[in-house]
Structure 1
Amino acid sequence: MTRPAIAFVASRTEEAQAALAQISAQYAQVPLAEADVIVALGGDGFMLRTLHRHLALKKPVYGMKLGTVGFLMNQFRMDGLSERLARAQSTVLKPLVMEAVGESGGTATSLAFNEVSLLRQTKQAAHIRVSLNGTVKIDELMCDGILVSTTAGSTAYNLSAHGPILPLGADVLALTPISPFRPRRWRGAILRAGTEVKLEVLDPYKRPVSATADSNEVRDVVEVTVRESRDTTVSLMFDPEHNLEDRILNEQFAY
Structure 2
Amino acid sequence: MDKFCIITNVEKDEKFQITHMIMDYLTAHKKKYVVAVNENIDLYRKEGFILPSEIPDDMDCAIVLGGDGTMILAASDLVSNDIPIVGVNLGTLGFLTEIEQNMIHESLDALFDGNYKIESRLMLEGSIFCNEKEVYSGYALNDFVINKKGTSGLIRVKIYVNDEVANTYLCDGIIISTPTGSTGYNLSAGGPIVAPYSKVMIITPICPHALFNRSIIVSQEDKIRIELGKRSKNPDEAIISLDGRLRMELQTGDAVEITKGKKKTKLIKVNNNGFFDLLRTKLGEDKE
Give yes or no for TM over 0.5: yes
- Call closer, same or farther: CA 1:154–1:250 in 2, change over 3 Å: farther
- Call closer, same or farther: CA 1:248–1:194 in 2, change over 3 Å: farther
Quote how far apart the aligned CAs of 1:233 are.
Answer: 1.3
> In structure 2, what is the Cα distance between the partners aligned to 1:93 and 1:149?
12
> In structure 1, what is the Cα distance between the partners aligned to 2:282 and 2:218?
20
Tell me if the contact between 2:86 and 2:267 (Cα under 8 Å) persists in the aligned partners: yes
Is residue 2:268 matched to residue 1:237? yes
Aligned-CA RMSD value: 2.4
Show the counterpart of 1:158.
186
Cα offsets for 1:73-110 (capped at 9, x unmatched): 02123423432323222110120012112358452111
Q: Counterpart of 2:222 in structure 1: which amino acid?
A: T
Q: Counterpart of 2:4 in structure 1: which amino acid?
A: I
Show the counterpart of 1:5.
3
> In structure 1, what is the Cα distance between the partners aligned to 2:184 and 2:174?
14
Show the counterpart of 1:133.
162
Tell me if the contact between 1:211 and 1:218 (Cα under 8 Å) persists in the aligned partners: yes
Cα offsets for 1:134-154 (capped at 9, x unmatched): 01122x310001111111111
> In structure 1, what is the Cα distance between the partners aligned to 2:266 and 2:116?
11
- 1:39-50 matches, within 5 Å, as 39-50=63-74
Select the residue among 233, 238, 243 that pairs with 1:209: 238
Show the counterpart of 1:18.
17
> In structure 2, what is the Cα distance between the partners aligned to 1:193 and 1:200?
20
Moved more, 171-180 or 6-15: 6-15
Q: Counterpart of 1:220 in structure 2: which amino acid?
A: L
Show the counterpart of 2:46.
none
DSSP 3-state at the match of 1:109: strand
> In structure 2, what is the Cα distance between the partners aligned to 1:158 and 1:98?
18
Show the counterpart of 2:110.
84
- Call closer, same or farther: CA 1:248–1:238 in 2, change over 3 Å: same
> In structure 1, what is the Cα distance between the partners aligned to 2:285 and 2:123?
26
Quote how far apart the aligned CAs of 1:46 are.
Answer: 0.9
Show the counterpart of 1:30.
33
Task: List gaps (5 residues or longer) in structure 2.
Answer: 35-54
Show the counterpart of 1:101.
129
Select the residue among 212, 234, 241 that pairs with 1:185: 212
Cα offsets for 1:183-230 (capped at 9, x unmatched): x2231211111111111101295320111110222212511111111x
> In structure 1, what is the Cα distance between the partners aligned to 2:107 and 2:84?
15
- Call closer, same or farther: CA 1:187–1:233 in 2, change over 3 Å: same
Q: When the two structures are superposed, what TM-score results if normalisation uses the length of structure 1?
A: 0.88
Aligned length: 250
Quote how far apart the aligned CAs of 1:248 are.
Answer: 4.8
- Call closer, same or farther: CA 1:64–1:155 in 2, change over 3 Å: same
Q: When the two structures are superposed, what TM-score results if normalisation uses the length of structure 2?
A: 0.79
DSSP 3-state at the match of 2:80: helix
> In structure 2, what is the Cα distance between the partners aligned to 1:249 and 1:168?
15
- Call closer, same or farther: CA 1:72–1:107 in 2, change over 3 Å: same
